[in-house]
Amino acid sequence: MDYIFENYNLNLLDCDENTCKIQLHPKQGQALLKERRKLYILHFDNEILYVGEANNSIKTRFQRGCNSFNYYIKKGFARNGYKGYKWLNKENLYRNLLVTVVIFNDRYDNDRKFIEAVEGELVYLTRNKLKYWPKFQNEIHFSNYEGAKEIAEEIFSTIIENSFD
């Protein structure tokens, strides 16, 4: 297998002026290390809410999204065109989320396009098999890469079997 799975609890804490901050538990794990290509899947109960891709620490990735969201809320405009995650908004009533992180081995560290292809396949599988698009998905990247579909199917099956009991 070219990847491992880790689960984290992500708590969204509401702050003043409709801003927020995050807490991620546990505070140890390979997803918290830098420079490792990974996918992350946010879910609540039996619903996949978002699928994303990152190369930096998952905590750093979430903090950057949170900082951008808070900047947008406070200033009324996006910094560099990015408004942060849609799932941080208080319209998302789910404030305690589960995050499944799929960490790929170093073979994929310089292959963002391939990991984005797996990400796109995961989002499509959610639509095809669960009959809905992830609620807070902003965009997906579709590319034809040999093996991306098969890896996405393995990841999807593992998430459904282990997280949706």
Per-residue pLDDT of the chain (165 residues; tens, 9 = 90+): 578 999 999 999 999 889 999 999 999 999 998 778 999 999 998 899 999 999 999 999 999 999 999 999 999 999 888 999 999 998 889 999 999 999 998 888 788 899 999 999 999 999 999 999 999 998 888 888 999 999 999 999 998 887 655
- Provide the pLDDT for residue 164: 58
* Region of residue 84 (phi > 0: left; psi between -120 and 50: alpha; otherwise: beta): left
The whole-number pLDDT of residue 25 equals 96
pLDDT at 41: 97
> Which strands sit side by side in the sheet containing 96-104, from one edge to the other?
20-25, 3-14, 96-104, 38-44, 47-54
**Cα 120 to the center of its chain, rounded Å:** 12
Report the distance separating Cα 44 and Cα 111, nearest Å. 29
- Say what the pLDDT of residue 143 is: 84
Q: Which residues pair with 23 in a beta bridge?
A: 11
**Model's pTM, two decimal places?**
0.92
In sequence order, what are the residues at sequence separation of 6 or more whose Cβ sits closer than 8 angstroms to the Cβ of residue 14?
A: 20, 90, 95
pLDDT at 138: 83
Q: How far apart are CA 42 and CA 91, in angstroms?
A: 16
| Per-residue confidence (pLDDT) for residue 96, from 0 to 100 | 96
